[in-house]
């Protein structure tokens, strides 16, 4: 004669008075199930939030003497666990345990369902914002190419071509505005970055208007200054918007103990002007080469458009340095890279 294992007997003593009166057998299938499982075996799935009504159950007894399990025949059933003590344990703990047997029950509560739905929506929104941010960032970087073409035409005094650029650049206003709000939507530091980005956008398009006015008067010096301000504020926008594609490092240590006289002319005796090819003779960017694109009349500081640091990047960094730091390069030099950009106008001479 076989005897029911001790663990199952204990469960029967503790739980049958509670469960039996509230379970009615029927033949309806369901996706929600209850299980009696040995506590020595880890539950494969965590207790999720799902319905207070259990619509089906399967019981497994554990044979502690024979070293194995004897599954009983599954009995589909439906129940409404309206006993307050059991219901409380299920909702707040997810399990009801006794010795070596665990009664686990997948449950759903309105609060948990709402939290899960909100988490999925937030994840979906975050993914959409990141994709939009990446698309806008790539679009903004195309302005770098437009600025290079504008520099080429400006240095060649092509007024008929220069007058087309303000309208073309104006079309990027909604792109820059949308990127600012999408990339930094929060409060705190994000709010400060939004203010900084909007400030740089305002200064950039203010310089665009000054370029337009200089073109109408064919004032080359005013056009140089307007372009220099455009390049400077757009560069600051890229840095504030974390759109730079490389990490800035100091190059000064690489040019220590070199004979400077064979590299550049003395900037105090022979200063650099707009369109001159220069090398930075001092400062953290010492040794980097570039082109003077503007001079601020009040300070005589030079605005230098550095040569491309990364050949695969469209970005050319803008630096404002003193007259003594921008030194004319000596020897035969290749022209600025902007002059290698082909014009799209087939009628160009």
DSSP secondary structure code for residue 293 in this structure: E
Q: For residue 38, what pLDDT is reported?
A: 38
How distant, in Å, are the alpha carbons of 91, 108, 152, 160, 221 from that of 157?
Answer: 78, 72, 9, 9, 11
Measured in residues, the chain has a length of 349
Distance CA 275, CA 304 (A): 10
Q: For residue 83, what pLDDT is reported?
A: 52
DSSP secondary structure code for residue 264 in this structure: B
Distance CA 224, CA 239 (A): 23
pTM of the model: 0.62
Q: For residue 134, what pLDDT is reported?
A: 84
Q: Quick check: 106 and 32 in contact, CB under 8 A? A: yes
Q: Quick check: 52 and 87 in contact, CB under 8 A? A: yes
Q: For residue 4, what pLDDT is reported?
A: 45
Q: For residue 89, what pLDDT is reported?
A: 56
Q: What is the pLDDT along the chain (349 residues), one digit of tens a residue?
A: 444 444 444 544 444 444 444 443 344 444 344 443 333 344 444 444 333 334 334 444 444 444 444 444 444 444 444 455 555 555 555 554 444 344 444 455 666 666 666 555 554 445 556 777 788 889 999 999 999 999 999 999 999 999 999 999 999 999 999 998 888 887 777 888 889 999 999 999 999 999 999 999 999 999 999 999 999 999 999 999 888 866 666 666 655 666 565 588 889 999 999 999 999 998 888 889 999 999 999 999 999 999 998 888 899 999 999 999 999 998 888 899 999 998 876 444 4
Question: Scanning the structure block, which residue is given the tokens 């006289």?
Answer: 261
Helix boundaries (H) for the chain: 6-19, 84-93, 110-155, 159-162, 165-170, 173-183, 189-217, 220-240
Query: Over the range 270-289, which residues count as b (16 or more CB within 10 Å of their CB) and which as e?
Result: ebbebebbbbbbbeebbbbb
Q: For residue 185, what pLDDT is reported?
A: 82
Which residue segments constitute the domains of the chain, with CATH numbers given? 13-108 (no CATH), 113-243 (1.20.120.290), 248-349 (2.30.30.30)
Q: For residue 114, what pLDDT is reported?
A: 64
Q: For residue 238, what pLDDT is reported?
A: 94
Question: Residue 83 has which token pair?
Answer: 């006993």
Question: Scanning the structure block, which residue is given the tokens 């439906």?
Answer: 78
């Amino acid at each position: 004669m076989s005897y029911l294992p001790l663990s199952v007997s204990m469960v029967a003593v503790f739980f049958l008075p509670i469960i039996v009166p509230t379970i009615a057998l029927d033949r309806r299938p369901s996706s929600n199930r209850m299980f009696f499982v040995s506590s020595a075996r880890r539950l494969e799935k965590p207790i999720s939030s799902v319905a207070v009504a259990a619509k089906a159950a399967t019981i497994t007894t554990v044979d502690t003497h024979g070293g194995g399990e004897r599954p009983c025949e599954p009995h589909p059933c439906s129940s409404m666990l309206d006993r307050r003590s059991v219901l409380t344990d299920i909702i707040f703990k997810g399990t009801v345990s006794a010795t070596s047997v665990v009664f686990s029950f997948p449950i759903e509560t309105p609060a948990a369902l709402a939290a899960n739905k909100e988490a999925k929506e937030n994840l979906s929104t975050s993914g959409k914002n990141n994709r939009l941010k990446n698309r806008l960032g790539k679009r903004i970087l195309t302005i770098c190419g437009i600025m290079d073409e504008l520099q080429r035409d400006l240095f060649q005094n092509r007024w008929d071509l220069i007058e087309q650029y303000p309208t073309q650049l104006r079309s990027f206003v909604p792109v820059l505005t949308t990127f600012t709000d999408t990339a930094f939507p929060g409060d705190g530091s994000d709010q400060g970055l939004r203010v900084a980005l909007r400030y740089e956008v305002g200064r950039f398009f203010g310089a665009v208007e000054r370029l337009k006015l200089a073109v109408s008067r064919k004032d080359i010096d005013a056009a140089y200054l307007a372009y220099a301000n455009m390049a400077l504020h757009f560069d600051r926008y890229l840095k504030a918007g974390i759109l730079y594609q490389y990490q800035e490092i100091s190059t000064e240590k690489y040019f220590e103990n070199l004979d400077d006289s064979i590299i550049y002319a003395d900037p105090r005796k022979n200063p650099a002007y707009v369109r001159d090819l220069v090398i930075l003779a001092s400062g953290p960017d010492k040794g980097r080469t570039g082109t003077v694109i503007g001079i601020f009349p009040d300070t005589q500081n030079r605005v230098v458009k550095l040569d491309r640091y990364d050949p695969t990047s469209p970005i050319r960094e803008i630096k404002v340095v003193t007259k003594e730091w921008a030194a004319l390069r000596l020897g035969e030099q290749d022209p600025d890279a902007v002059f290698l950009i082909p014009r799209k106008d087939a009628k160009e001479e």
